[in-house]
């Protein structure tokens, strides 16, 4: 299968261009977060009466400080979202060009898989913001993990455009790995929301996330995104079993990657059950969801790169 070096080169350049754009978006989100913090501090400088007026506004500020503070924070936030959209366009184009350059589904190695998961995370986040713009301040915490994964993907995990091994030359690659990618992107957003929820109630560490939306809003975000991701993840596990039967003659063999994926499925099923159970809806459920995120990351890196198994040759989901 021929490789188009020009398309592969442009794919790589767009990938690193997306990393640069996401860097700018993170800086703008950080500026938004700082501006929001300054807005809340301002009332204390103008007297008790004004402070009382602003105390219940949760970031709105007092009348004297509100216009300048809010406009600055709002401006940075809107710029950050616009830049993120540009990053998604570059990011998506990079993946498409990689597929065109190799004439295959562009999920054949760890570099491509990591890039696709990062795209799923950012697209999920933009959809969340479309439905709930008030969550935008959390972008300062959602995008940095994406940047870290993309940096690792472009350096440690990078692979030249090339054909995949014969075992991956199947339409199940597009079905199974794509659904794993989408589910993983959703679960990363949900996991970050749960971690922020836990930080919000952790004493001194709570100051780090003091200006984020309420803990209840973060908890709802984690639950709703996980509720969407879980059936997709379930389908991905089933599709993987069907592919395994076609490729290896058995539906399930307790391969390390299969085992950890099953553990992740159990954890997320437990989270959804806990979230619907009185007494487990908040902190305990958030801990379960955070554990689920840990297993997803563990499966992505440790199982793919360290543990030998039937999936080791590909380094993919």
Whole-angstrom Cα distance, residue 68 to residue 124?
A: 31
Q: In this predicted structure, which of 136-145, 152-161, 254-263, 278-287 has the lowest mean pLDDT?
A: 278-287
Domain boundaries of the chain, sorted by first residue: 1-164, 165-317
pLDDT, greater one: 39 or 257: 257
Residues written for the chain: 317
Q: In this predicted structure, which of 5-9, 175-179, 296-300 has the lowest mean pLDDT?
A: 296-300
Residue 254's region, left for phi above 0, alpha for psi from -120 to 50, else beta, is left
Residues 6+ positions from 177 with CB-CB distance below 8 Å: 105, 107, 113, 316, 317
Q: Are 80 and 29 in contact (CB under 8 A)?
A: yes
Q: Is the pLDDT of residue 306 over 90?
A: no
Scored b (16 or more CB within 10 A) or e, 174-189 reads: ebbbbbbbbbbbbbbb
Whole-angstrom Cα distance, residue 141 to residue 273?
A: 27
When pLDDT is averaged across residues 256-263 and rounded to a whole number, the result is 87
Q: Is the pLDDT of residue 38 over 50?
A: no
pTM, full prediction = 0.84
Please, what is the Cα angle at 316 between 196 and 100, to 5 degrees?
A: 105
The predicted-structure confidence for 190-241, as pLDDT tens digits, reads as follows: 999 999 999 987 777 777 888 888 889 999 999 999 999 999 999 999 998 8
What pLDDT, on a 0 to 100 scale, did the predictor assign at position 81?
Answer: 96
Q: Which of 130, 131, 124, 261 is nearest to 193 (CA)?
A: 124
Strands (E), 44-103: none
pLDDT, greater one: 190 or 315: 190
Looking up tokens 């940075």, which residue turns up?
76
DSSP code per residue over 244-274: HHHHHS-S----HHHHHHHHHHHHHHHHHHH
Q: Is the pLDDT of residue 57 over 70?
A: no
């Amino acid at each position: 299968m021929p490789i188009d070096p020009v398309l592969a080169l442009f794919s790589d350049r767009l990938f690193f261009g997306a990393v640069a754009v996401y860097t700018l978006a993170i800086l703008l989100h950080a500026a938004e977060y700082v501006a929001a913090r300054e807005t809340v501090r301002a009332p204390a400088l103008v007297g008790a009466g004004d402070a009382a007026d602003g105390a219940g506004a949760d970031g709105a500020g007092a009348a004297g400080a509100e216009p300048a503070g809010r406009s600055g924070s709002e401006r940075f936030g809107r710029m950050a979202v616009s830049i993120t959209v540009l990053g998604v366009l570059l990011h998506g184009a990079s993946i498409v060009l990689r597929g065109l350059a190799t004439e295959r589904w562009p999920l054949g190695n760890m570099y491509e898989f990591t890039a696709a998961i990062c795209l799923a995370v950012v697209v999920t986040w933009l959809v969340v913001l479309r439905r709930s713009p008030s969550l935008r301040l959390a972008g300062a915490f959602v995008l940095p993990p994406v940047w870290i994964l993309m940096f690792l993907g472009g350096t440690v995990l990078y692979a030249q455009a090339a054909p995949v091994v014969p075992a991956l030359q199947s339409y199940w690659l597009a079905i199974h790995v794509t659904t794993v990618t989408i589910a993983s992107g959703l679960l990363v957003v949900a996991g970050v929301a749960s971690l922020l929820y836990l930080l919000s109630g952790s004493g001194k560490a709570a100051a780090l996330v003091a200006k984020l939306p309420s803990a209840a809003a973060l908890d709802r975000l984690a639950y709703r995104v996980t509720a969407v991701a879980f059936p997709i993840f379930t389908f991905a596990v089933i599709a993987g079993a069907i592919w395994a039967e076609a490729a290896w003659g058995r539906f399930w063999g307790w391969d390390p990657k299969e085992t950890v994926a099953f553990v992740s499925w159990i954890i997320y099923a437990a989270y959804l059950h806990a979230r619907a159970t009185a007494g487990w809806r908040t902190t305990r459920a958030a801990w379960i969801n955070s554990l689920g995120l840990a297993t997803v990351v563990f499966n992505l890196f440790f199982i793919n790169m360290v543990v030998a198994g039937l999936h080791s040759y590909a380094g993919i989901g």
